[in-house]
Chains A and B, each alone.
Chain A
Amino acid sequence: MDSKGILLQIGPFTVRLDSCIEVVNRSVHKLYEGYNFFEEKPDVFIDFYIRIDRPNFYRGYLRSQVQCYVDGITPFKPLPIAQSYPFFEWGLNWIIASHVHYYLLIHAAAVEKNGHVLVLCGEPGAGKSTLCAALASRGWRLFSDEMAVIDLKTNEVIPCVRPISLKNKAIDLIGDFYPGAIFGESFKDTAKGTLSHLKPSKESVKRFEERAFCKWVVFPQYREGSETCLTSIEKDKTVIELAKNSFNYNALGSLGFNSLCDMVERSHCYEFEYSDLNEAITLFDELAC
């Protein structure tokens, strides 16, 4: 690693990124503005090392591919160089999900208002990132749009604020909905279609150490033309659904089970169908009052 790395604090993790690809560095500096960046020093412990670079001359220059190195190893196949920045975000997701067994990690978005966390859990495409971005643009504090991080000792939700990754139609939708939105570059033809990252609010970034307990677990489903409809669901079913959507539930054993049960015990659990973001936000705002 000859290049000068970028060291930054992302939620509870200290990450070092090395990349010679300009768009990666540019995007990180734009989207992670206001985060703690620091110098490499003997009193700094780095949790995760990630490098995005051309693998070799043939793949890197003749075929224009990039590779993601996780502390030297390559868990993925190379991707087209145009997807370098998303590769960093995906790589980081993978690193956290496969190394962090000291928190319970749930594939869900999380936002906070008045000291209570709303966890939005759902299949890819269910509209959780869109809903999360919309809430975050209307006064809810962003915790994460990708993984809800739960402390196994206190069962609090820990902020892990990162740019919100929006796909395809959601990019314009949020762009129209939230005129102040700052987006990173658009990346076309990725495995998930067109991808763009929404910069998190200054407030969310600044308060990254303020944890809170979960109060609502919601399984959203966007359906075109549908009424805004919030339906209570049973807690046992919620635990099972969250376990299915957890990255590391199986690795944690009883620790994960107890934490999950406690989290659901203190929460109201709903299924939520929506098509109108304004109505959705009004509803959650009322819930949070």
Chain B
Amino acid sequence: MNTQNPLLISVLINPEISLDLNLQQWDLLIRQARRSGVLARFGFILEDKGLLSSVPSVALKHIQSTQTYAYQMGMSLKWEIYCIQKVFDTLELPLVFLKGTAYTVANNVASAGRFFSDVDILVPEDKIVEVERALIHGGWKSTHLDAYDQRFYREWMHEIPPMEHVKRHTSIDVHHNILPKTSRFCPNPALLLANIVKVSDKNAWVLSPEDRVIHSATHLFHEGEFDHGFRDLSDLDLLLKEFNTIELFWENLINRAGELDQQLPLYYALRYTSLFFQTPVPNFVLSVSKQWFPNKVHEVSMDWLFCRALMPNHPSCEIFGTGFARWVLYIRSHWIKMPFFLLVPHLCRKGWLRLFEQEEQD
């Protein structure tokens, strides 16, 4: 990993390097960071290390530009959360936020400068109808009205079709689990809900630190598209570094992965955060997690795939096989989320629609 590390990774591991960069290198660094969605975060890391004042002004304006935008997005997110909380006032349910929104309400380091496309929440499956009805009452409407899509989500997925607010056009994903029902490794969501943590005086809950890491890992390593893969891996790096100080965090993390049947995604998360970012994962944790993954051939192939696919999504970070690796992982993501007899007709339909719609657009 070290010989051909993209500049962005080297600088994230060791921000002091940024002091010695020439303008052409800054140019490349800004592009890599912008494209992978970590430019604003990178700015906060430099600020944290007291290095922001040494950034050349031509590069600094791009960093601050993204930070301005991220700040504004954060403000909108706060308003969105408030609106969802108002809907939940009518329900007697804890409002559990997932992913990026969870990092924000829990004030995790990973939330600084992060962009959001939607809000994700987790509710018990038997309350879905109630929650959906309350959201509709609050001004959200269901998208994907096509009968096939509705069935796809409601019968097989771990969430109902995304809902969009009619006025603000913001989007909310209501989940009842963290993996599709059709997945072989679908965990028992009651276990997740049993450990939730309250993070403010208002109705705002998040998964426990261990579960937040596991969900982040599960999400990333079941993902089929890696546009934000690098950012998501960086999320994991920051979460692990932050929770490192919690007593017995690593022991609990390992146990929890077993309880939730998420050992494989956690193995990947620990392996690739330490490979990419030199995340300080204790050795005993790495060796325990390695036992979850006994097959050497499989390990080498997954390394080959993920070390390409998880790179910053910028042409300068592509090496031989990057496109192929992303394509293989796209197929894999479907493969592990759905059994074969569902997958084949689903992919055929998607492929057909893509061809058909493309022609129509032309």
| A→B interface (CB under 8 Å) | 14, 40-47, 49, 71-73, 77, 99-102, 250-253, 255
B58 engages A100 (CB within 8 Å): no
Which residues of B have CB within 8 Å of A42? 22-25
Contact A77-B27, Cβ < 8 Å, known A99-B65, A250-B72: no
Check B71 against A45 for contact (C-beta < 8 Å): no
A102: chain B residues within 8 A (beta carbon)? 61-62, 64-65, 68
A252 — which chain B residues lie within 8 A by C-beta?
Answer: 68, 72
Q: How far is the CA of A101 from the CA of B65 in the complex (A)?
A: 5
Q: How far is the CA of A252 from the CA of B361 in the complex (A)?
A: 34
Distance, CA A46 to CA B66, complexed state (A): 17
Q: Is the CB of B69 within 8 A of A251?
A: yes
Whether A251 contacts B24 by the Cβ 8 Å rule is no
Residues of A within 8 A of B64 (CB): 102
Residues of A within 8 A of B22 (CB): 42-43
Whether A45 contacts B27 by the Cβ 8 Å rule is yes
Complex CA distance for A102 and B30, rounded to whole angstroms: 15
> Do the beta carbons of A72 and B315 come within 8 Å of each other?
yes
Q: Please report the C-alpha to C-alpha distance between residue A44 and residue B25 in the assembled complex, in whole angstroms.
A: 9
Whether B332 is near chain A, meaning CB under 8 Å from some CB there, is: no
Q: Contacting A49 at CB < 8 Å: which of B25, B31, B59? A: B31
Q: Which residues of B contact A41 (CB under 8 A)?
A: 24
Do residues B65 and A253 form an inter-chain contact, with CB atoms below 8 A? no
* Least Cβ–Cβ distance between A250 and chain B, in angstroms: 7
Q: Are A255 and B68 in contact (CB under 8 A)?
A: yes
- Number of B interface residues at 8 Å Cβ cutoff, please give it: 25
Chain B residue contacts of A250, Cβ below 8 A: 72
Q: How far, in whole Å, are A38 and B34 apart by their CA atoms in the complex?
A: 25
Task: Give B73's nearest chain A residue, CB to CB.
Answer: A251
Please give the distance in Å from B301's CB to the nearest CB on chain A: 27
Docked Cα-Cα span, A250 to B168, in Å, equals 13
Interface residues of B (CB under 8 A from A): 22-27, 31, 34-35, 56, 58-59, 61-62, 64-66, 68-69, 71-72, 75, 314-315, 361
**Besides the known contacts A40-B24, A99-B62, A253-B68, 16 further A-B residue pairs in the complex with CB atoms under 8 A apart:** A42-B22, A42-B25, A43-B24, A44-B24, A45-B24, A45-B26, A47-B58, A49-B31, A77-B361, A100-B65, A101-B69, A250-B72, A251-B72, A253-B71, A253-B72, A253-B75
5 A-B contact pairs sorted by A residue (CB < 8 Å): A40-B24, A45-B27, A72-B315, A99-B62, A102-B62
Q: B361 to chain A: which residues have CB within 8 Å? A: 77
Q: How many A-B residue pairs have CB under 8 A?
A: 57
Q: How far is the CA of A99 from the CA of B40 in the complex (A)?
A: 13
Residue pair A101, B58 in contact (C-beta under 8 Å):
no
A44-B69 in contact given A49-B31, A77-B361, A102-B64 (Cβ < 8 Å) = no
Closest A-B pairs by Cβ, 5 of them: A45-B58, A45-B23, A101-B65, A72-B315, A102-B65
**Contacts A77-B361, A251-B72 given: A101-B66 contact, CB under 8 Å?**
yes
B314 in contact with A72 (CB, 8 Å): yes
Q: In the complex, which residues of chain B have a beta carbon less than 8 angstroms from the beta carbon of A45?
A: 23-24, 26-27, 56, 58-59
Closest to B318 in A: A72
Say yes or no: A71 contacts B68, CB within 8 Å.
no
Tell me, rounded to whole Å, the shortest Cβ–Cβ distance linking B82 to chain A.
17
Min CB distance B266 to A, Å, is 32
- Neighbouring B residues of A14 by C-beta, 8 Å: 58
Chain B: CB-nearest residue to A98: B69
Report B88 CB to chain A, min CB distance, Å.
27
Q: With CB as the reference atom, state the residue of chain A lying closest to B316.
A: A72
Q: How far does the Cβ of A51 sit from chain B's closest Cβ, in whole Å? A: 10
A188 to chain B, nearest CB (A): 20
- Given the complex, which residues of A lie within 8 Å of B24, measured CB to CB? 40-45
- Complex CA–CA separation, A154 to B252 (angstroms): 54
Closest to B63 in A: A102
Nearest chain-B residue to A250 (Cβ)?
A: B72
Would you call A251 and B68 a contact (CB within 8 A)? yes
Give the chain B neighbours of A253 by CB distance below 8 A.
Answer: 68, 71-72, 75
| Bound Cα distance A46, B28 (Å) | 9
Q: Nearest chain B CB to A79's CB is how many angstroms away?
A: 12
How many whole Å from A74's CB to the nearest CB in chain B?
12
Q: Is the CB of B68 within 8 A of A101?
A: yes
Contact residue among A44, A71, A100, A255 (Cβ-Cβ distance under 8 Å from B35): A71
Complex Cα gap A47–B62 (Å): 8
- What residues of chain A lie closer than 8 Å to B31, measured between beta carbons? 49, 71
Contacts of A46 in B (CB 8 A): 27
Interfacial chain B residues near A44, Cβ < 8 Å: 23-24, 27
> CA–CA, A100 to B64, complex, Å?
10
